[in-house]
Structure 1
Amino acid sequence: MEYARKIGSKIKLYGELVMFSHTLFSLPFAMISMIWAAGGLPSSRIMLWGLIALIAARNGANAFNRVVDRVFDEQNPRTAHRHLPRKLLDAKEVLVFVVVNYAIFIFSAAMLNTLCFILSPVAIFLISSYSYTKRFTFLSHLYLGFSIASAPIGAWFAVTGKFAFTPFILGTVVMLWIAGFDIIYGSQDIDFDRSHGLWSIPSFFGLKNGLRIAAGLHAIMVLLLIALIPIRHLGWLYILGIIIAIALLMVEHRIIKPSNRKRMNIASYNLNQVISMVILFCTMGDFFLL
């Protein structure tokens, strides 16, 4: 009983480490991509291995980021409570977790098709290298979005094994969306980033300009979602989803207050989780019901 309790506690720690609940950012767009690629629900085999690949890649990348950034996390009052600074998990132990997840990702990619298997090392490089970008470029937010954009693109490849135009539009939507709210989240660390030589759009351009850039990225994201209407022959339910997403984005940008951590978490995470699910359900409803 005690052994089972320890295992459960360890699983909980790793779930918190990689912020498993944040899978809701990339998963809905990957599901949309799969459904469009398959012209309906893909086979259970593709759904299973695609989901395993997505979760394993994301877990590995987040855990790797925690190891790479642990020195800065220890010094930043906002992040000093995280698992590695508090010694709740050991860095070497977490790296084993990273390797295991990346191995699962590669195996899952191989189970999907040859193209996914060939591209899996490229995907690992992209999602892992993000951890270093804040050390030399304020474009780190866009690089983060770019790496997460591999989810809908990879989902399309998982179904078809071929390149196409639509998944790259979806990927760009994800890139701009993620980069926008990561800029908002990063605005909490302007002073820390500047004093420690870390790069971000808010620390480089200032708070007001940084938030304007975030709003601009989200505006372009919306335009791309609209551009998909004629490309995919989408109907009113999809359009309703876009309207709701716009309203939520407007709320997100209105409640920003870097000194209020709770409000920033709502703006950066909670509202965006709702946005992704709204777009998913409206898109699926449009596809299957109309």
Structure 2
Amino acid sequence: MGIKDILSFVKVEHTLFSLPFVLIGYVLAHNQFMHELSSQKFGIDILWILIAAVGARGLAMTLNRIIDRDIDAANPRTENRHLVSGAMSMNTAWTLSAIFLGMLLFGAWQLNEVALMMAWLPVLVFVIYPYTKRYTWLCHFWLGLCLALAPAGAWVAVTADVYGWGAITDFYWFPEVFFISLGVTLWIAAFDINYARMDVESDRESGIHSFPSRFSEAATTRTSVQLTLLWFACFAISNPMDEIWFLAAAGLMSALNIAVIIAREKLADFQTTLFRVSMLTGWVLLVAIMMIEPSSDGLFD
């Protein structure tokens, strides 16, 4: 089992979805509290945040593969995945889970006590996710929650250096981080609803409660477009979004996502196109938010 196999097992390319929002959470906290922490502290914080984020992402995927191995075996699209095909043993998968959990907890421990204690929240969310699809089509929103913890977690990790538990209890996260995280939830749900189109027949046979297996093609398209409009609204009403760069970026990427969703039947490879546009969304928003100038008091102008 080599590095290439491990990277394939955890779908490392999907990290491109969560990483920009981890950095967005960090940038928001940096701009808000830049006058209350040393630049050296901010510099080292990003290292530990990235280690924790990589660990969280790897843990989420590994747990999903372990818990869903029976479902994967019954699906022609996923029957060749590592645990199903025997390319990776369960012992190896559990070992990887322990390593990724260790990365998450170590990174959080290096940050502060609040980050370490709160690191168990995503672990719980990750464990629950594979079971949600067995009971409700709202599983797509739970997956969105998994990724919404990326900006929220990075922001809390930095802010807790200044305010401790007050970073959470005193609502410093509202409205910016709240609406960005809610937007991420809806964005991922919109993407995942379309991604699940590939498994409609298999999901129906296996009793998996995906949105496309429960509702019509038209309803799937309509709902994913509505969710895209909602995530744009979330980004637009968040406090730093009065800056033209972020608002323009959110509008552009929501329009591109909607255009791809609507043109599904005309595209030669709808899933690949949607994946690339969705992945690009986070990075475009990150660049835009980095262009927002903090004011002299550390808050956004």
Give the secondary-structure state (helix, strand or coil) at the position aligned to 1:57.
helix
* SS of structure 2 residue aligned to 1:286: coil
Query: Scaled by the length of structure 1, what TM-score is found?
Result: 0.89
Tell me, yes or no, if structure 1 residue 251 matches structure 2 residue 259.
Answer: yes
The Cα of 1:240 is off from its aligned counterpart by 2.3
- The alpha-carbon deviation at position 91 of structure 1 amounts to 2.0
Among 243, 246, 249, the residue aligned to 1:241: 249
AA of the residue aligned to 1:49: W
Q: 1:90-121: per-residue Cα shift (whole Å, max 9, x none)?
A: 12211110111112211211111111111111
Give the match for residue 265 of structure 1.
Answer: 272
One of 291, 294, 299 as aligned partner of 1:285? 291
Paired residues in the alignment total 278
Displacement of 1:209 in angstroms is: 0.9
In structure 1, give the amino acid aligned to 2:286.
Answer: L
Worse overlay, 68-77 or 191-200: 68-77
| Larger relative contact order, structure 1 or 2 (CA cutoff 8 Å, min sep 6) | 2
Question: Which position in structure 1 is the counterpart of 2:178?
Answer: 168
Equivalent residues in 2 for 1:12-51 (5 A)? 12-39=4-31, 43-51=42-50
Match of 2:227 in 1: 217
TM-score normalised by length of structure 2? 0.86
Alignment of 1:45-124 (within 5 A): 45-124=44-123
Tell me the distance in 1 between the aligned counterparts of 2:270 and 2:190: 16
CA contact (8 A) 1:202 1:211 kept: no
CA contact (8 A) 2:235 2:241 kept: no
CA distance in 2, matches of 1:233, 1:251: 23
| Counterpart amino acid of residue 36 in structure 1 | L
CA RMSD, 1 decimal: 2.1
Q: C-alpha deviations, 1:16-75, integer Å up to 9, x for none?
A: 111111111111112111111111687121100000001101101101101111122122
Q: Distance in 1 between matches of 2:84 and 2:152?
A: 34
| Aligned mates of 1:114, 1:79 — CA distance in 2 | 40
Kept in 1, the 8 Å contact 2:54–2:103? The answer is: no
Look up the match of 2:194. 184
- Preserved contact between residue 215 and residue 253 of structure 1 (Cα < 8 Å): yes
Which amino acid counterpart does residue 120 of structure 2 have in structure 1? P
* 1:274 aligned residue: 280
Quick check: 1:148 aligned with 2:131? no
State the 1:187 CA deviation. 1.4
Distance apart, 1:255 and its partner CA: 3.4
* Cα distance, 1:243 vs structure 2: 2.8
Give ranges in structure 1 of 5+ residues lacking alignment. 1-8
Detail structure 1 runs of 4+ shifted over 4 Å in the superposition.
257-260
Query: Which residue matches 2:217?
Result: 207
SS in 1 for 2:82: coil
Equivalent position amino acid for 2:17 in 1: F
Identity %: 30
**C-alpha distance in structure 2 between counterparts of 1:75 and 1:180, whole Å:** 25
The answer to whether the 8 Å contact 2:241/2:247 transfers is no
Q: Which moved more, 1:249-258 or 1:217-226?
A: 249-258
Q: Which runs of 5+ in 2 are unaligned?
A: 161-166, 295-300
Letter in 1 for 2:215: F
Give the direction of change, closer, same or farther, for the CA distance of 1:234–1:33 in structure 2 (3 Å limit): farther
Q: 1:47 to 1:112 in 2, by over 3 A?
A: same
* 8 Å CA contact 1:116, 1:157 repeated in 2: yes
Q: Residues 88 and 213 from structure 1, CA distance in 2 versus in 1: closer, same or farther, beyond 3 angstroms?
A: same
SS of the aligned residue for 1:198 comes to coil
